[in-house]
Amino acid sequence: MKGITRIIDGGGKLKVVVGVADMKASNKKGDEIITYSLGSCIGVAVFDPLVKAAGILHYMLPESELDIEKARKNPFMFADTGIPQLFRELYKYGGKKQRMKVVIAGGAQILDQKGFFNIGKRNYMAVKKMFFRNNVFCDYEDIGGNINRTVTVRVDTGEVVIKTSGQGEKII
């Protein structure tokens, strides 16, 4: 995980920005962790209400076997290497899988309108398979279509905000 950079938005709130093929976690009061422009990528947001810790993973591809060297350099690029890292990071704050609120978003078909590569669908199947194998339950998902999404998780409350192009915001 790269170092945490906090920016102050126009409303004076601290934002921890998660880039593409990146992951951030925090237990700092007032932090909002945000990732932008989820197209075919998947954003996995987790929150433990007892310890007030949250994190977001923004992964690009389903399986690290596609490029083992890239996965070694950046495990957050792939579902099968990034998701375990996200949960391990929350465990460092005292988080427990059984308590975590889990939200996933993305998996759209943006640049591949004819569905030739199906990256969005393959990314979605990868997270579902990993969750099934590890007994992780998803509280909410906003998947598919051909739209971009921005996901924010608020460390204080655990609220997850999904902003969808042309559709506004949903608070989960």
| pLDDT tens per residue, range 42-78 | 999 999 999 999 999 999 999 999 899 999 999 999 9
If one counts the domains in the chain, the total is 1
Query: What does the radius of gyration of the chain's CA atoms come to, in whole angstroms?
Result: 15
Q: Is 128 inside a domain boundary?
A: yes
State pTM to two decimals: 0.92
Contact 141, 126 (CB under 8 A): no
41 annotated active-site: yes
The answer as to whether 1 is a domain residue is no
Catalytic-labelled residue, pool 18, 23, 34, 41: 41
Q: Is 3 exposed, middle or buried (0-12, 13-18, 19+ CB in 10 A)?
A: exposed
Closest CA to 100 of 153, 23, 31: 153
Domain that holds residue 16: 6-171
What CATH number is given to the structural domain containing 145?
3.30.1330.200
